[in-house]
Amino acid sequence: MQLDPRLIRCLTTLRLERLLVLSGAGISAESGIPTYRGENGLWRRLDFEKLATHAAFDSDPRAIWSWYRERRDGVRSALPNDAHRAVARLAAVAHEALVITQNVDDLHERAGLAPEHLVHIHGEILETRCEACGSVSDAQATDGQRGCRRCGARAPSARMSCGSTRSWLSSR
Ligand SMILES: [Zn+2]
Domains, the chain, with CATH or none: 1-33+78-121 (3.40.50.1220), 47-77+124-172 (3.30.1600.10)
129, containing H or E segment: strand 127-129
Q: How far apart are CA 44 and CA 53, in angstroms?
A: 17
- Sequence letter at residue 152: G
Q: What confidence score (pLDDT) does residue 22 get? A: 96
Q: How far is the CA of 168 from the centre of ligand 1 (A)?
A: 14
Q: How far is the CA of 157 from the centre of ligand 1 (A)?
A: 10
23 within 8 A of 101, measured Cβ to Cβ: yes
Q: Do the bridges between strand 118-120 and strand 96-101 make them parallel or antiparallel, or are there none, so unpaired? A: parallel
Q: What confidence score (pLDDT) does residue 171 get? A: 42
Q: How far is the CA of 146 from the centre of ligand 1 (A)?
A: 11
Residues with CB under 5 A from ligand 1 (ion): 130, 132-133, 148, 150-151, 153
Q: How far apart are CA 117 and CA 151, in angstroms?
A: 32
Q: How far apart are CA 64 and CA 69, in angstroms?
A: 9
57 within 8 A of 65, measured Cβ to Cβ: no
Cα-based distances in Å from 8 to 62, 104, 139 = 46, 27, 35
Q: How far is the CA of 114 from the centre of ligand 1 (A)?
A: 28
Q: What confidence score (pLDDT) does residue 167 get? A: 39
Q: How far is the CA of 160 from the centre of ligand 1 (A)?
A: 17
Residues with catalytic annotation?
Answer: 122
Q: How far is the CA of 127 from the centre of ligand 1 (A)?
A: 13
Alpha helices in the chain (DSSP H): 5-13, 25-29, 42-45, 48-51, 54-59, 61-77, 82-93, 107-110, 139-142
Indicate the pTM of the whole model.
0.76
Q: How far is the CA of 148 from the centre of ligand 1 (A)?
A: 5
Could you say which DSSP state residue 156 is in?
Answer: P
82, containing H or E segment: helix 82-93
| pLDDT tens track, the chain, 172 positions | 566 777 777 767 777 788 999 999 999 999 999 876 666 666 566 666 666 677 777 777 777 777 788 888 899 999 999 999 999 998 998 889 999 999 999 999 999 999 999 999 988 888 887 778 888 877 776 665 666 778 877 654 555 433 333 333 444 4
